[in-house]
Structure 1
């Protein structure tokens, strides 16, 4: 009886959790137009902080971020109370947040005042407001230079609300079909005296899984200063407590051992319910960054020249941040996100994730600032010591041209099923501060130059002489003019019928010529590295061999090591998945296997409005799906049947034994 009962219980439990022990149920429906917290960005205002005051100021700025994250979490947990009483949010959340911020701003002013002139007006930045998650652009200033944001025709499905596994985004309106975007990348004309060479460093794809939620540039000495996880390649000692000497003495994942630079960016996740090791930790699941971390298929790090002048050496330990992790609430002034698909990189999206057609992969591109003030390796707001060049390559007065870092990250992820909130094919999104709702415009990259001086001189000589050099120089990019087979390219499709288009929530970055990112200088025809590894060397997908792990072992005291597997394509093909229950036909598959059909909501071409049409579309299955009829289901129930027979036999034996003893 005990054995039979155990078999029945185990079989029932296994059937109920067929998705795997690390899969979690999708969160219950969130409130549509769930609000997010908008607070003025104090750090960007502090352009003149005495060096002696910076450690205290950095710690207090990190405390401001922590206060916003806590307020946002409280807002999510109190959603029902906020709905019932509109004044609850102000009384219980926003007013206390203002008081905490006022005290922190006072400490910042005191720290600066002890070393120099006390800043005025900081307390005016204490008050925060709530904004609808579908109205992210309402507080943003209009972009400069005539640039226009991507015009989104998509809207979040009813019932998905703030969307995403963490309940704080993304939503359907954050995605756009790349095939509906018009080419929008212009290449600056080369001029006499320009530097036309390039230098590539090959540093792997972070196959060894080096992640943390620190940011030693913005929040040195503060654990979880980023509130989201970063991928790291190159320098293997980057964490919140790494000193300049720690970085100089570190191991490196780069092929050329003279490059110990640190390259890092927010991780990309599939919001598929998978529990990563950071699921219950700050920076991860506790702050809405949930799901499976995806390791890039390719990472290319290329340093390029200037179209009108020679470049000069970067100073050792120069820090550069490109993009704005808070662009959803800050507006587009410092945003520099660029999203595209392989074969379509003459079309860049600033404020949408791309929906790539069959045979095409998602591409993230970061073009870093390429003008340096000639004096500082960092600045109080981490921006004013570097600037973007104008379209003709000229730098602002007093600045000089340096090699421009171009990071190109390629991911083998499939276009998500937007009509069901990513349940069939999971949504993908970058990690973000919790209140930034995983918006694509918040994408950003970080770089610390730890090149050996001799290798930096070699780089500059190579670029200025027009040559192609570096450990990654032999790896050529795919042709930017070659697009996938048009017979496999999906057309725009109709958005879910039960939604309406929200206002566009971001704006395209302004053009170059200021210290803001370029409007169209975002394509990166650079070479992908040879490594195409999975996220976990011990468990690579069958079609993609693992990359060589970074040299050397991770030492105690260095960033915490997390290892995760990259997404695997389902090999199951079912003819019953040819059409959806409502008759929608799916998109052609990106891989040979059959996908569960879905329809997707897309945006119109950049700067234009178009009427979406309907086209075939199918999507992949990342998690096991119910298929077949009763016979197929019964094939998984035989342990339960045997258990039931044993249980019944036990009852009969017990009954007969009791009768015999009577």
Structure 2
């Protein structure tokens, strides 16, 4: 099981904010937050493999610029054990280089920044490739990993959204507000498309549910680590995570330490559940305003505690589920969806009472004081072998439209994390993100490590397979 590591040099909050302010087009009086959803386009590039940016090309005033690079970690499929440490260190350096380059955009020409970034990435990717060859595995990316060294800047439109989002003007105004999103990042949930229905259960399906109750982080368990993607690195996520379940989870957690730790779950489930915090942008100084993962990385505002957290496992409409292996790791969604594109984006946004309508790339405007709802539906098919994979994705998959798993995969209980928030009236909000991902709703994501005792997981699978509600 290969895990990435990630570390970046210190980047002061004012540098991140200043960079975003300067990158805003049309004068950029609204800093950091006046940006909208992603489309396609590019501005300036340096080398690369023809990688396509997915940030919107702004044709007029009202645009922000971000840096888009091919995701090297996502291209890895096989990392032998002898190479894992060096490859992980290299991947962490690539993330740190992008963060530093993004900060430099405020004071240097984009062409110069991208040129320096490409030279750094070429050297680091070369070391990753050398590690793979020394371990007896050539990198499998077309043209080699070195073809992924080039990055480009991409413009993101900050133009106002259509009339469906006009009610947000009472909360944000046309110019947005420092540290928060513009109206273009929000949409009235009443105008959202109806959610797609799920396949009807067939004979042989599994229709039960198993719910584990783990609280809503009353313990105040926060950190900007990511033990799945960046183990062993403090502030590996560059944004703050909210945790429920396992009480010990941080960058240095291991399978053994997780198994030995306490839990906030009421049934003895020691699993780890985490997601980026949601912040209200109320202009108040948060306790982490100068801390890594907080203001140090451009994440400003007051952290909202969830009003409720529901962790439910569901079945397959066409098959019985296999119990998850202990220490299975799953990530749903993509923290870099703004620059990677939306292929792996998966979070849904809605409002209590309107969950037949879902948004993927907008924050919801909820009527009548209804709570905001975030939903993360996890992959529900497993390869039957691995508890993780080099890119943290290929060992699991989503079922097909008819509910069946892809060839070579088997159905497992599908975790659905549902989190609600009582957002104060007339106050904008946003999720924490990597600096260059601009707090876009499409970058939202959820993480899970199964640390259920085997007997409890077997009970959950049996409950689901026999159609019971447990």
TM-score interval for Structure 1 and Structure 2 normalised by the shorter chain? 0.7 to 0.9
The alignment partner of 1:296 has SS state of coil
The alignment partner of 1:183 has SS state of coil
Structure 1 459/446 Cα, relative in aligned 2: closer, same or farther at 3 Å?
Answer: same
Aligned equivalent of 2:259: 248
Structure 1 161/40 Cα, relative in aligned 2: closer, same or farther at 3 Å?
Answer: farther
Give the superposition deviation at 1:51: 2.7
The alignment partner of 2:63 has SS state of coil
Output the CA distance in 2 between the equivalents of 1:358 and 1:407. 24
User: 2:126–2:146: 8 Å Cα contact kept in structure 1?
Assistant: yes
CA radius of gyration, larger in: 1
Aligned equivalent of 1:262: 272
Q: Deviations over 1:503-525 (max 9, x none)?
A: xxxxxxxxxxxxxxxxxxxxxxx
1:122 aligns with 2:145: yes
Give the superposition deviation at 1:122: 1.2
Structure 1 segment 505-654 matched on structure 2, within 5 A: none
Give the superposition deviation at 1:151: 7.8
Structure 1 62/151 Cα, relative in aligned 2: closer, same or farther at 3 Å?
Answer: farther
Output the CA distance in 2 between the equivalents of 1:270 and 1:97. 33
1:191 aligns with 2:191: no
Greater strand fraction, Structure 1 or Structure 2: 2
Output the CA distance in 1 between the equivalents of 2:257 and 2:393. 24
Structure 1 312/152 Cα, relative in aligned 2: closer, same or farther at 3 Å?
Answer: farther
1:356 aligns with 2:366: yes
1:400 aligns with 2:410: yes
Give the superposition deviation at 1:359: 3.4
* TM-score, normalised via structure 2 length: 0.82
User: 1:72–1:435: 8 Å Cα contact kept in structure 2?
Assistant: yes
Moved over 3 A (4+): 27-32, 150-157, 159-166
User: 1:152–1:176: 8 Å Cα contact kept in structure 2?
Assistant: no
Aligned equivalent of 1:419: none
Structure 1 442/161 Cα, relative in aligned 2: closer, same or farther at 3 Å?
Answer: farther
Give the superposition deviation at 1:244: 1.1
Match of 2:181 among 147, 170, 177: 170
Output the CA distance in 2 between the equivalents of 1:250 and 1:103. 40
Structure 1 segment 92-241 matched on structure 2, within 5 A: 93-119=113-139, 121-134=144-157, 165-166=178-179, 170-241=181-252
1:42 aligns with 2:53: no
User: 2:380–2:399: 8 Å Cα contact kept in structure 1?
Assistant: yes
Structure 1 29/441 Cα, relative in aligned 2: closer, same or farther at 3 Å?
Answer: closer
Output the CA distance in 1 between the equivalents of 2:30 and 2:207. 53
The alignment partner of 1:358 has SS state of helix
User: 1:185–1:348: 8 Å Cα contact kept in structure 2?
Assistant: no
Give the superposition deviation at 1:165: 3.7
User: 1:247–1:260: 8 Å Cα contact kept in structure 2?
Assistant: yes
Structure 1 359/163 Cα, relative in aligned 2: closer, same or farther at 3 Å?
Answer: closer
Unaligned runs of 5+ in 2: 1-20, 22-28, 32-60
Structure 1 193/151 Cα, relative in aligned 2: closer, same or farther at 3 Å?
Answer: farther
* TM-score, normalised via structure 1 length: 0.59
User: 1:339–1:352: 8 Å Cα contact kept in structure 2?
Assistant: yes
Q: Give the aligned CA root-mean-square deviation in angstroms.
A: 2.2
Structure 1 468/151 Cα, relative in aligned 2: closer, same or farther at 3 Å?
Answer: farther
Give the superposition deviation at 1:234: 0.2
Aligned equivalent of 2:401: 391
Unaligned runs of 5+ in 1: 1-26, 83-87, 137-149, 416-424, 470-662
